[in-house]
Amino acid sequence: MIVVLGRPRAARPSRSREPAQRVPAGLCVSIASAAVAAGARVELVGSIGDDAVGDAVVLGLSRYGIGHAALLRDPAAHTPEVGAHPESLPRLDRPDVELGLGYLVDFRALFLAEPLDPDAEAGALDEAAFHGAQVVAVLPRGTRPSDRLAGEATVLEAPAADDGAFGALLGRFAAELERGVTAADGLARAAAATGWERRS
């Protein structure tokens, strides 16, 4: 199993006639849905608001085949829309991360789809080490990883703008890791399969 850790956003479908309808979005969802499409079993760990938009996100994750048993609902927060300011996101601290990851019996790889505060990052790395899971961390362009993250994870820099291709690359990479491939080989295979090499 693959775990993707991040806070899903909500987006309005472009063809929707229902103004209140929302679908799950964000890098964590792109990675998870691409991994499912490539044959991986995926659980999404993170947090959303305990609201109607969060309900729509959960239903969408189910439709995509993404597990969400360890997705926390924060009653003090609203599920964010795509493009929401980081300060308006639901809480995701170390106890949340440890609770979500501790709920899962076993996983082969952990994808950190967004930067975490240092304490939450340490909790995620501790849980991954306990499970013997490989860690892949995605950081915004120009962000320096912590020494521990640099030493224990494959750290990738997110492109400034993404049309979904980066999430597809990472989802395919996740599926390769679930098959037991090394990180270097898995990333190379994923790049070749998605045409990422030609984009660089």
CATH at 140:
3.40.1190.20
Q: Tell me which of 82 and 36 has the higher pLDDT.
A: 36
Instruction: Please give the helix or strand (H or E) that residue 135 lies within, else none.
Output: strand 134-139
pLDDT of 82 reads 85
pLDDT at position 160: 82
DSSP type of residue 179: T
Q: How many domains does the chain have?
A: 1
Quote the domain boundaries for residue 116.
2-199
Indicate the burial class of 140 (C-beta count within 10 angstroms; 0-12, 13-18, 19 or more).
exposed
* Both tokens assigned to 188: 């190379």
Mean pLDDT, rounded, for 66-88 = 87
C-alpha closest to that of 173 among 191, 155, 152, 161: 191
Contact (CB, 8 A) for 23 and 66: no
Span 45-70, pLDDT tens digits:
999 999 999 999 999 999 999 999 99
- Pick the closest to residue 41 from 68, 23, 71 (CA basis): 68
pLDDT beyond 90 at 22: no
How confident is the prediction for the chain on average, in pLDDT?
Answer: 91
Burial string for 26-50 (b: 16+ CB within 10 Å, else e) reads: bbbbbbbbbbbebebebbbbbbbbb
Per residue in 132-187, pLDDT (tens digit) is 999 999 999 999 999 999 999 999 999 987 778 999 999 999 999 999 999 999 99
Q: Are 186 and 178 in contact (CB under 8 A)?
A: no
Amino acid 198: pLDDT: 53
Q: What band does 16 get if pLDDT is binned at 50, 70 and 90? A: low
Residue 29 pLDDT:
96
Return the percentage of the chain with pLDDT > 70, whole number: 94
> What is the model's pLDDT at position 19?
47
What pLDDT is recorded for position 127?
Answer: 96
